[in-house]
Structure 1
Amino acid sequence: MTEESEPGMKILLMDKETTSVISMVYGQSEIQQKEVFLLERLDSPNQSNSLGLRYLKCLVFLRPTQENIGLLCNELRYPKYGAYYIYFSNIVAKADIKILAEHDEQEVVKEVQELYMDYLAVNPHLFSIGLPTCMNSLSWNPTALQRTVQGIVAVLLSLKKSPAIRYQANSKLCKDLGTRIDEVMNKESSLFAFGQNSHPLLLILDRRDDPMTPLLNQWTYQAMVHELLTINNNRVNLSGIPGVGKELSEVVLSAEQDPFYAKNIFLNYGEIGQNIKQLMDQFQAKAKSHQKIESIADMKNFVEAYPQFKKLSGNVTKHVTVVGELSSMVNKYHLLDVSEIEQEISSHNDHSSHLQSIKKLINNDKVRNTDIAKLVMLYALRYQNHSNNDVVGLIELLKKRGVSERLIKNIVNILEYAGSHARQSDFLNVENALQSTKRFFKGLSGVDNVYTQHKPLIHETLEELVKGRLKDSLYPYVGNHFLNGRPQDIIIFMVGGTTYEESLTVHSFNKSNPSFNIALGGTTIHNSTSFLAEVEQATRNLPRKHTRNIRNVRFD
């Protein structure tokens, strides 16, 4: 956008969603280097005050919604800027272009283009549509379905892929999404005529097939920050942490703009601590070297190095604060003890041992109620059909402990949402043949330990897919686009949200299989809190079909 318009000072006019899209990939200082000195929102009430700026060029980056078309028509009827370069983040209707042309009476529009960026680019292989919830009564919310179709179409067009589409057979949500995307690809066939050499594939999966992954505590940097502090569009709110200054009340964690974060994003908790120490040592060494400024040359060298020095200083403080808070929470809430049991339940069948472990932890008042309730959810999912299942007994213990009714309801909700009736894969019924040995965090990359036994279901799905063993009966094709060879460009999309643990799985897979290029997307990126909110929304007003045996939970 900035390169295609003429040189000179520019303003960038966006909507709420395109503001998020841009902020995920560009820092404000980077934008300013492109001669863009002002960022405005088209839907902001203050926007109309920017009068008398006719000498400025206006870059417009909007989603092609009816609301935005209307606002843009008003803007063009009374233009505040000398020239407008309009970019839509997705396919725009010809009728809307005609309406805009009719309102451009002063002929200020120099260009209109479609620039397919209707999604949030989170990591190089990870994207999100940014929808916190997408279902009502376990069916698509129509608005969310429409938005998801638009988001995935934009991903395909920006990557120049016209893929075959496969979906999880037992999920109507996946089938509906695949069918709608196929319809758009057929309708806009000229846009999808890429003449590709590879065999791209879009595989649509249902979150309900693997409800365990979003419930687990995480131990790699990005995933851990999201689980304990929450990452929202690369931003982390630290304002609730005692002693944190105003300048750190909200920090940006972006691999694009922060080399330390990029380097440590997939490393485990133990390794991050060591690397933070190295960063601090590096900072202290640099700080020391700048204490002697005895000549003009010294000053010049200091000034030249100062931007990096200042950046490093900010980075050190930021990561020390974030990792310090993670460490504090791990110790305060006994998360290592909780995680050990979570990993055991999610990775092995051992009913009596798991039941005793949970009961023991219920008596530990240092453990948070939410962590105890999640353990009972994991137990309920794994042992739903076990003859000695004691979900009812565990719920009674939670009530005695004073766990909130909402958390207890979520145990029932998750069984309605993703119990054995909803899952196509039998990953919970297969005894894990590998016996895990208890090892703790070590400062070595790739060391398996008791806290990283669990592998998301997507790991197995990918293994089957690249070996050409993914069954057509379980993952049928949409329409007439079949693959002759094995797919090398694969886009996996998770209806109901994906996770940073699954992102790590895809990253590792890409690294160890360089001939494949796999991208992962989801309606959102969940931590356990947002996942339970999604489950709650998806099961609201749903009759209880699969949990009638749990009679001691009162429902409205």
Structure 2
Amino acid sequence: MNVIGAVKAYVEKITDETEPGMKVLLMDKETTSIISMVYSQSEIQQKEVFLLERIDSPNYANSTGLRYLKCLALLRPTQQNVELLCTELRNPKYGAYYIYFTNIIAKADIKLLAEHDEQEVVKEVCEVYMDYLAVNPHLFSIGIPYCLERLSWNQNALQRTVQGLVSLLLSIKKSPIIRFQSNSKLAKELGSRIEDVMNKESSLFSFGPLGHSLLLILDRRDDPITPLLNQWTYQAMVHELLTINNNRVNLSNIPGVSKELLEVVLSAEQDAFYAKNVFMNYGEIGQNIKQLMDQFQAKAKSHQKIESISDMKNFVESYPQFKKLSGNVTKHVTIVGELSSMVNKYQLLDVSEVEQEISSQNDHSTHLSEVKKLIQNEKIRHSDAVKLVMLYALRYQSHTSNETYNLIELLKKRAVPDPLLKNIIYLLEYAGSHARQSNLFDVEDAVKITKRFFKGLSGVDNVYTQHKPLLHDTLEDIVKGRFKDNLYPVVNNHSSGLRAQDVVVFIIGGATYEESLTVHSLNKNYANFNILLGGTTIHNSKSFLEEIENAFKGEDMRLRKHTRHLRNIRFD
């Protein structure tokens, strides 16, 4: 089960099975993102694709076509896209159309397209199941930043999530048993909707008997800790500090950055260094950047020694690779340099150490003292100070000496904006102990704190990495046969069948790159199991808090019994 491989296979089918000749690839906003996650523009153009167009662009509607080109239309089967295609087919810009929908298309829509194809330019209409974003081989996203309204499903987000998961299952050819987190109405509703589609489209899901694969639907509210923590592996760290948006990172805020680096692509499919270092920790990245620099300097020196026609020929042949290496070195040195600068400037190692201790140990007085100390440190960012209070509030929500109120007062003294302060209460409403099925703070099972000493470049210090996401224990229970039916029942009480070895885990409310690392590690350690992870989106702490805030949009600041110790807080 490899989602990048699945999407690539469909793209190869689309580009290879049409007649030879120059083609135009016609996409919408979402399919453009789907393709760009796995292919660069130059790679697509190598498949005889002469032009890339957006059907939903105003400029496209006014453009003139090239009738000698074949059009490969790769679109989501939305009402808007069907209407745009009907308009296109009434006055076709191209000589022939091969239409590919990324999900199940209604027969009525196909009939509508046929009625508008008066010039008979449509040669083929197919379904290719790639209605999701393939992030890593084992990680996918639906690309929905906010999926809740007042802690219930936003209906558009629910429909899009159902479509994305149905497409995912069809692309990896699985007809799974569906289990859901028992205390989550969101998970149960999503599971039921997916099962309804599987029953309705049973001919598409005839991949063998049920029970050999599992779709496990979880709720982000069960583990609010993981998205709040600072990260120390390359991909996760870049997302937390700089933000990765569909494999792109905006570096325009870095002083003095060159025009070529205002936005860079981080794709393991297109970047060997990134592929090697995606899951490496901060110290190892420093070492590997140094090696990359040494490799580049050695090649640069060899290119300086052009003394013969043969040398010139070798230089010309190797120059594209040399230029690519040069760009890669510059990109990663810039990124790692900025990460290092932010870690030092905002004292993130100190922040992370306290975060990790709160998430892994039960020591109220020590944690309270450390959080107060960091709140009073002016070098700590407002956002990090607030996250520390959030972690404290979650862990010690029921503690008799809970001081969340006093910590919020300290935050107000350092002029933390009200929206950030409100997020503390939103978080407790969203994922306090009343909302969680699992015990996040089981002291007996807590991992004892350990320091990992990372040796590398100067300035790469020790970091704490002892936190394990709740997902780690859940998946270990699956692979070791300890899974509890009462906590994760089967949709519609069907028989659970055989013990599944192919597992798709989906997190409503977003997955994280730390959880992606967990899945990657388990796939390596348990060769007989194949695990995929997906989420409505891929969160860093900023986007996670934005999602929580959005889930309460329009709600009064009602404080229920689980936030009674915060009743006296007033916001301007």
**TM class, shorter-chain normalised?**
over 0.9
Contact kept, 8 Å, 1:13 with 1:59, in 2: the verdict is yes
CA deviation profile, 1:395-446 (whole Å, cap 9, x unmatched)? 11111111111111111110000000000001214344543233432459xx
Q: CA deviation at 1:52?
A: 4.5
Specify which of 274, 286, 295 is matched with residue 308 of structure 2. 295
Inter-partner Cα distance in structure 1 for 2:173 and 2:462: 40
Specify which of 514, 518, 536 is matched with residue 549 of structure 2. 536
Gap change, CA 1:151 and 1:27, over 3 Å in 2? same
**Is 1:210 the equivalent of 2:226?**
no
Query: Paired residue for 2:335?
Result: 322
**Is 1:549 the equivalent of 2:565?**
yes
Query: Paired residue for 2:238?
Result: 225
Q: CA deviation at 1:196?
A: 5.9
Query: Paired residue for 2:443?
Result: 430
Query: Paired residue for 1:497?
Result: 510
SS at 2:491 equivalent: coil
Contact kept, 8 Å, 1:84 with 1:108, in 2: the verdict is yes
**Is 1:309 the equivalent of 2:325?**
no
**Is 1:185 the equivalent of 2:201?**
no
Inter-partner Cα distance in structure 1 for 2:407 and 2:266: 39
Inter-partner Cα distance in structure 2 for 1:79 and 1:209: 51
Contact kept, 8 Å, 1:118 with 1:155, in 2: the verdict is yes
**Is 1:99 the equivalent of 2:112?**
yes
Q: CA deviation at 1:482?
A: 2.9
Inter-partner Cα distance in structure 1 for 2:516 and 2:100: 30
Inter-partner Cα distance in structure 2 for 1:347 and 1:392: 23
Counterpart AA for 2:218: L
Inter-partner Cα distance in structure 2 for 1:432 and 1:337: 25
Inter-partner Cα distance in structure 2 for 1:327 and 1:356: 27
Query: Paired residue for 1:82?
Result: 95
Query: Paired residue for 1:42?
Result: 55
SS at 1:55 equivalent: coil
Query: Paired residue for 1:399?
Result: 412
SS at 2:123 equivalent: strand
Specify which of 436, 444, 465 is matched with residue 478 of structure 2. 465
Q: CA deviation at 1:307?
A: 1.2
Counterpart AA for 1:539: F
Inter-partner Cα distance in structure 2 for 1:399 and 1:485: 55
**Is 1:266 the equivalent of 2:272?**
no
Inter-partner Cα distance in structure 1 for 2:54 and 2:162: 25
SS at 1:365 equivalent: coil
Counterpart AA for 1:255: A
Gap change, CA 1:299 and 1:372, over 3 Å in 2? same
Inter-partner Cα distance in structure 2 for 1:531 and 1:436: 26
Counterpart AA for 2:547: E
Q: CA deviation at 1:483?
A: 3.0
Q: CA deviation at 1:449?
A: 7.0
Contact kept, 8 Å, 1:15 with 1:42, in 2: the verdict is yes
Contact kept, 8 Å, 2:211 with 2:497, in 1: the verdict is no
Inter-partner Cα distance in structure 2 for 1:482 and 1:258: 45
**Is 1:440 the equivalent of 2:440?**
no
Query: Paired residue for 2:29?
Result: 16
Inter-partner Cα distance in structure 2 for 1:72 and 1:420: 50
**Is 1:31 the equivalent of 2:44?**
yes
Contact kept, 8 Å, 2:34 with 2:132, in 1: the verdict is yes
Gap change, CA 1:424 and 1:449, over 3 Å in 2? farther
Query: Paired residue for 1:51?
Result: 64
**Is 1:511 the equivalent of 2:507?**
no
Query: Paired residue for 2:80?
Result: 67
User: Structure 1 runs of 4+ off > 6 angstroms?
Assistant: none
Query: Paired residue for 1:332?
Result: 345
Gaps of 5+ in 2: 1-13
Which moves more between the two structures, 435-444 or 158-167?
Answer: 435-444
Inter-partner Cα distance in structure 1 for 2:342 and 2:78: 43
Query: Paired residue for 2:167?
Result: 154
Contact kept, 8 Å, 1:198 with 1:488, in 2: the verdict is no
Query: Paired residue for 1:256?
Result: 269
CA deviation profile, 1:458-512 (whole Å, cap 9, x unmatched)? 0000011112211111100013543332210000000000000000000000011
Query: Paired residue for 1:237?
Result: 250
Specify which of 249, 274, 294 is matched with residue 281 of structure 1. 294
Contact kept, 8 Å, 1:165 with 1:481, in 2: the verdict is no
Query: Paired residue for 1:139?
Result: 152
Counterpart AA for 2:308: S
Specify which of 106, 131, 136 is matched with residue 123 of structure 1. 136
Count of equivalent residues: 553
Please give the root-mean-square deviation of Cα atoms over the aligned residues, in Å: 1.6
Q: CA deviation at 1:549?
A: 2.6
Gap change, CA 1:293 and 1:206, over 3 Å in 2? same
Contact kept, 8 Å, 1:57 with 1:82, in 2: the verdict is yes
Inter-partner Cα distance in structure 2 for 1:197 and 1:179: 16
Inter-partner Cα distance in structure 1 for 2:409 and 2:570: 12
Contact kept, 8 Å, 2:181 with 2:489, in 1: the verdict is yes
CA deviation profile, 1:259-299 (whole Å, cap 9, x unmatched)? 00000000000000110010010001001111122222212
Q: CA deviation at 1:374?
A: 0.2
SS at 2:16 equivalent: coil
SS at 1:547 equivalent: helix
Q: CA deviation at 1:195?
A: 2.0
Query: Paired residue for 1:163?
Result: 176
Counterpart AA for 2:317: E
Inter-partner Cα distance in structure 2 for 1:197 and 1:140: 28
Query: Paired residue for 1:477?
Result: 490
Counterpart AA for 2:559: R
Counterpart AA for 1:175: K
Q: CA deviation at 1:555?
A: 5.7
Contact kept, 8 Å, 1:409 with 1:553, in 2: the verdict is no
Gaps of 5+ in 1: none
CA deviation profile, 1:231-263 (whole Å, cap 9, x unmatched)? 000000000110101110000000000000000
Gap change, CA 1:122 and 1:368, over 3 Å in 2? same
Inter-partner Cα distance in structure 1 for 2:494 and 2:324: 50
Contact kept, 8 Å, 1:276 with 1:320, in 2: the verdict is yes
Inter-partner Cα distance in structure 1 for 2:453 and 2:372: 23
Inter-partner Cα distance in structure 2 for 1:244 and 1:419: 42
Inter-partner Cα distance in structure 2 for 1:291 and 1:241: 31
SS at 1:290 equivalent: helix
Which moves more between the two structures, 372-381 or 298-307?
Answer: 298-307
Inter-partner Cα distance in structure 1 for 2:113 and 2:440: 53
SS at 1:256 equivalent: coil
Contact kept, 8 Å, 2:28 with 2:54, in 1: the verdict is yes
Contact kept, 8 Å, 1:436 with 1:450, in 2: the verdict is no
Gap change, CA 1:206 and 1:434, over 3 Å in 2? closer
Gap change, CA 1:301 and 1:221, over 3 Å in 2? same
SS at 1:421 equivalent: helix
Contact kept, 8 Å, 1:221 with 1:266, in 2: the verdict is yes
